[in-house]
Amino acid sequence: MKKLGMLLVFSIILAGCGGGDQKKMGEEYKFSKVNVKDENRIGNNQNYGDFGYMRHMSGDKVKSGNNVPYLNRQKLADMISDMALQLPDIKDVGTLVTDEEVLIGYKTTNKDRNAAADQVKMTAFSVVPRYYHVYVTDEKGMIDKIEQYQGLNNDTEDIEGIIDQLIQEMKKAPQGKKWNYGENENGEMNGETNNMRSKMEGK
């Protein structure tokens, strides 16, 4: 009987401690409540943390599906250059990011130029949206040349022709492996480049 009484007292003490710990943990890890009255959405132009989050529920007004989310191209170029520079045998990297292309000039000590090109290219593909095309070059002087294009934008006259001319020059250097059967080394679908040129030439 004495043992049973001691066990009962010990259980009560444990339960009391557990409740206190749970209360403490609840206070330490308590999240601030978010007011979700704005069309039942969370994340409407408000900064709640380091992550991006948006909630949509049935009945919400549907926005146009053709709008592409804004990308900070400057930060993207910085990230790609930094990541590529961490690859073995890559010593210098310059990256230009447009609305649908990534152009990378780099210097390498790797004698296998195609392998180096593939590594640099895949670094960019790992962080950009899938519709982007990536072009690389290790030709002498191309880093400085690519840098000269940083002041251009979509309003520049004949911007597509200017960028296309630069791309053709870059493609004289190794571009790495093909993506797959339907896409070339730069992520272009078969015939995509020719179609773009035809539109530019008004054919």
Q: pLDDT tens digit string along 12-46?
A: 444 554 444 544 444 443 444 444 444 444 444 44
Per-residue confidence at 181, pLDDT binned at 50, 70, 90? confident
Q: What is the mean pLDDT of residues 66-83?
A: 82
> Which helix H or strand E contains 102, and what residues bound it?
strand 101-108
pTM summary value: 0.65
Q: Of all residues in the chain, what percent are helix, strand and coil, respectively (each to 5)?
A: 40, 10, 50
High-pLDDT (> 70) share of the chain, %: 60
Look at residue 62 in the predicted model and tell me its pLDDT. Answer: 60
Pick the CATH number of 73-201 from 3.30.70, 3.30.300, 1.10.1660, 1.10.3470: 3.30.300
Measure the CA–CA gap between 174 and 193, rounded to whole angstroms.
18
- Domain segments of the chain: what residues? 73-201
**Mean pLDDT value across the chain:** 75
Q: What is the mean pLDDT of residues 159-174?
A: 95
Give 126-161 pLDDT, tens digit per residue: 999 989 999 999 999 999 999 999 988 888 899 999
Q: What is the mean pLDDT of residues 173-183?
A: 87
Three-class SS of residue 190?
A: coil
Q: What is the mean pLDDT of residues 63-92?
A: 83
Per-residue confidence at 63, pLDDT binned at 50, 70, 90? low
